[in-house]
Structure 1
Amino acid sequence: MVQSKAATPEQYLEELPDERRSIMRRLHEAITANLRGGFVSVMNYGMPGYVVPHSIYPDGYHCNPKLPLPYMSLASQKQYISVYHMGLYAESGALDWFLSEYADRVGGKPDMGKCCIRFRKADQVPVALVGELAGRFTTADWIAAYERTIRR
């Protein structure tokens, strides 16, 4: 399931195959439990997204101002589970923190792109660490980082 037609994150989770549903639900719950300062959980780009709503940041996302400002997303891909965190791309301190914590808790380096963390096996997903990563920014922190580094 790359892109879902689900209307809500809960519906997305219910549509997942049994072998993915539990870990994706745990990730979703860890993220939502740790979000700070006004982020909301919505469907964004066909996956559960955690965004700054237009009521807080009326400008929206520079790529499509009709969309709220994205912060994090989750996706169940064919070969792996993806966690997208825009702050890892925008703030080197957040990336350095995550890499250090991942090495300490899991060992080695994560399979990553610029803001995408890929997990091939559900039992190797550091759920608590992903939750802590969600709490690294408030909406005000994220808006400031976004305007400073991404939106130009």
Structure 2
Amino acid sequence: MQSTAKTPDQYIDELPEDRKVVMQKLRDTVKKNLPDGFEETMQYGMISYVVPHSIYPDGYHCKPTDALPFMSIASQKNHIGFYHSGIYTDPEIMAWFVAEYPKYAKGKLDMGKSCVRFKNLKNIPFELLGELATKITVAQWIAKYESVLKR
């Protein structure tokens, strides 16, 4: 389910009522906790948090006209998706997140490489996701991105 919304507000406005509240709370959680320098935008049909070209002019290597992606949130067909590049690229952050998850949420962690899926909208650990959002600064993300890209 890729949205054609042009802004995060439009994205949330177009959601079904039961998803609007959850997605707005998730958006507010990310914005409150994300380190300075990341910019909220729409990217790949999701609400995304990127390193803007004003900070990282090279952009995303796959498509340099796109800002460097870092984190996204999306209302998918069967779940809410929380995409965080840090849990994919940093084994320490991944280990921390996996260890902390049971302290904040009921049920099994449903996770792909960078995506955490929440099928039960009442079981989203907003506090944990907020803490995860604080774990990587813009400078740290650029350094990690370039270290992987230049191997």
In structure 2, how many angstroms separate the alpha carbons of the residues matched to 1:151 and 1:98?
27
**What's the CA shift for 1:5?**
1.1
* Matching residue of 1:14: 13
Residue number in structure 1 paired with 2:36: 37
State the SS of the aligned residue for 1:111.
coil
Counterpart of 1:24 in structure 2 is 23
Off by >3 Å, runs of 4+ in structure 1: none
Amino acid at match of 2:43: N
Aligned to 2:60: 61
CA distance in 2, matches of 1:47, 1:6: 9
The aligned amino acid for 1:37 is D
CA distance in structure 1 between the aligned counterparts of 2:29 and 2:42, rounded to whole angstroms? 17
Count of matched residue pairs: 151
Amino acid at match of 1:68: A
**Pairwise CA distance, 1:149:** 2.3
Contact 1:90 1:150 in 2 (8 A): no
**Which ranges in structure 2 are unaligned for 5 or more consecutive residues?**
none
What is the match of residue 134 of structure 1? 133
| 1:143 aligned residue | 142
Task: Tell me how far 1:107 sits from its aligned partner.
Answer: 4.8
Deviation of the 1:32 alpha carbon: 0.6
Any idea what SS the aligned residue of 1:112 has?
A: coil
Structure number with greater CO (CA < 8 Å, separation at least 6) is 1
Task: Give the deviation of 1:109 after TM superposition.
Answer: 4.1
Q: TM-score scaled to structure 2, two decimals?
A: 0.95
Distance 1:150 1:87, change over 3 A: farther
Q: Is the 8 A contact 1:37 1:140 kept in 2?
A: no
Give the partner amino acid of 2:103: D
1:123 aligns with 2:122: yes
Q: Secondary structure at the match of 2:53?
A: coil
Q: Equivalent residue for 1:73?
A: 72
The alignment's C-alpha RMSD in Å is 1.2
1:34 is displaced (CA, Å) by 0.5
How far apart in 1 are the matches of 2:50 and 2:24? Answer: 18
Aligned mates of 2:12, 2:150 — CA distance in 1: 31
Write the distance in 1 (CA, Å) between the matches of 2:140 and 2:81.
23
Q: Cα offset for 1:45?
A: 0.4
Distance, in Å, in 1 between the alignment partners of 2:143 and 2:120 is 34
Structure 1: runs of 5 or more not aligned: none
